[in-house]
Amino acid sequence: MRFLSKNLVINLEDNPVIPVLTGCTATGKTGVLLKFRRKYDFEIISADSRQVYRGMDIGTAKPERDEQAILTHHLIDCINPDETFSAGMFTKEAWRLVSEIRKRNSVPVVAGGTALYLIALAGGLDPMPNRCEGVREGFKTIEEEMPGTLHRILEKLDPVTAGVTGNGDIRRLVRALELYALTGELPSDLRKGGDPMLRKKFRMVGISLPRDEHRRRIRVRAENMMETGLIEEVRFLLDKGWGRESVLGRTIGYKEVLDFLDGIITSVEGIVEAVSVNTWQLVRRQKNMFKRLEGIVWVENDPDLIEKLLFAEGGF
């Protein structure tokens, strides 16, 4: 028996292997899975850190309504753009869904490109306390009033963590000090390497593409976003009260449209170019994150091989 948190218990012996389809953005994961739906009874647990937000449809390439009618997707359209959804929350919800889907005699398939979510799900992260907004706001206020203070505090408390956290990386500095405030333990002591036994419960397949083809798809995807109404989608979200301070300001596609609406980018073509460049930079970061997940079998856009790897040999 393995305990992921106080409220989440997983019996590894009773759970068969879970198929996972991953890969960087714009590699065609949804399209491949829709083809498999004709042959297999399965449901998707989305591992996408942006599709979880309501109203962010075009810019996140969220499955269309007719596609969701064909293939059930979970963990999309769950929260508003000004709310938070963490890797720990994803892990807890994903295991709950695994159990529910199996009770329906269907198969849970995890699919998405957010490597941090997959790392957490596969036991690569240590259990940590939830965020405390009061504590976080206190640390942010200190840093705003006295820039550099948080890093100096962390250097005295935990030189190991401070050494790998940049002075300007406020998000990670706040989280490190928050962990210390909530637990009384140093952040470096809390990280023990996760639970490697969980990794054995997943069959992970990743879609890869040749560099030129991948960049072409990214460009086409950016153009399609403009043609299908991303600017109007952003205006709608702004009217709802969600702007740069929400997740829109940290999401490729949305932040470039916000720049356009503010006059920083002066044309639709400029949006397409900025989105394409920033998406390619994201792909490079994703590839680095995937290196932390051992055992992914990478396939260069071969649906037949992907099918065999995901579903053969007891996958069901």
> For the segment 196-250, what is each residue's pLDDT rounded down to a tens digit?
677 789 999 999 999 999 999 999 999 999 999 999 999 999 999 999 999 999 9
Give how far Cα 64 sits from Cα of 20, 73, 118, Å.
Answer: 21, 11, 24
Residue 48 has pLDDT above 80, yes or no: yes
pLDDT computed for residue 7 by the predictor: 40
pLDDT band at 5 (very low <50, low <70, confident <90, very high): very low
3-state secondary structure of 74: strand
Contact 217, 31 (CB under 8 A): no
Lowest mean pLDDT among 29-38, 52-61, 111-120, 191-200: 191-200
Q: What is the pLDDT of residues 255-275, one digit of tens each?
A: 999 999 999 999 999 999 999
Query: For position 75, what pLDDT does the model report?
Result: 98
Q: How does pLDDT run across 74-121, given as a tens digit for each residue?
A: 999 999 999 989 888 999 999 999 999 999 999 999 999 999 999 999
What are the tokens at 315?
A: 């996958």
Class of domain 2-126+192-311 (CATH, top level): alpha beta
Of 8-22, 133-147, 267-281, the poorest mean pLDDT is in 8-22
- Assigned CATH for 133-190: 1.10.20.140
C-alpha distances out from residue 179 to 26, 50, 154, Å: 35, 25, 11
Give the position of tokens 């073509």.
269
Q: Give the pTM.
A: 0.81
Domain boundaries, the chain: 2-126+192-311, 133-190
Q: Could you check whether 2-126+192-311 and 133-190 share the same CATH topology?
A: no
Residue 184 or residue 248, greater confidence: 248
Q: Is the pLDDT of residue 2 over 90?
A: no
- Half-sphere exposure of 165 toward its Cβ, with a 13 Å CA cutoff? 23
Please give the pLDDT value at position 183.
86
Q: What are phi and psi of 43, to 5 degrees?
A: -130, 150
Cβ atoms of 316 and 225 within 8 Å: the answer is no
For residue 131, the 8-state DSSP code is P
Q: How far apart are CA 124 and CA 202, in angstroms?
A: 13
Predicted confidence at residue 249, as pLDDT, reads 96
Paired strand residues for 46: 111
DSSP conformation class of 53? B
CA–CA–CA angle 121, 125, 131 (5° rounding)? 95
Give the pLDDT of residue 71: 96
Length of the chain as a residue count: 316
Please report the DSSP string for 157-174 in residue order.
H-HHHHHTS-TT-HHHHH
Which stretch of DSSP H or E encloses residue 4? Answer: strand 2-5
Q: Band of the pLDDT at 166, cuts 50, 70, 90?
A: confident
Distance CA 295, CA 316 (A): 19
Report the percentage of the chain scoring pLDDT > 90. Answer: 75
